[in-house]
Amino acid sequence: MMSPEWSVNKAGALDWGRHMRNIVDEAGEIIAKATDDHTLIGGHHRLAVAASLGQKLFWKHTGEPVKLDPFFKGSSHRDTA
């Protein structure tokens, strides 16, 4: 029997096998959460606001600066007038 691609973690939430990474600002406050492949899981609005204000953002686990282009290029599915 093959194991499913997902499981339930200790908190009872679904775990899809992706590692979550926190994006923090210079003060260390969590701004957003993303997977290893840069899929945003939470904090979309806070990330956009921080980017528009020119704040420097970092990966909490490495301290490396976050490159924002992968999060925003081609991400809008809305038509503009």
Domain that residue 55 falls in: 18-72
Our count of domains for the chain comes to 1
pTM for the whole thing? 0.67
pLDDT of the residue at 55:
93
Band (74; pLDDT cuts 50, 70, 90): low
Summarize pLDDT for 8-48 with one digit per residue, the tens. 555 555 555 667 899 999 999 999 999 877 788 889 999 99
The residue count for the chain? 81
Q: Calculate the dihedral angle through the C-alpha atoms of 75, 42, 64, 62, rounding to the nearest 10 degrees.
A: -140
Task: Answer whether residue 9 is part of any domain.
Answer: no
Task: Answer whether residue 2 is part of any domain.
Answer: no
Dist. CA 35–CA 37, nearest whole Å: 5
Task: Answer whether residue 33 is part of any domain.
Answer: yes
Task: Answer whether residue 3 is part of any domain.
Answer: no
Task: Answer whether residue 48 is part of any domain.
Answer: yes
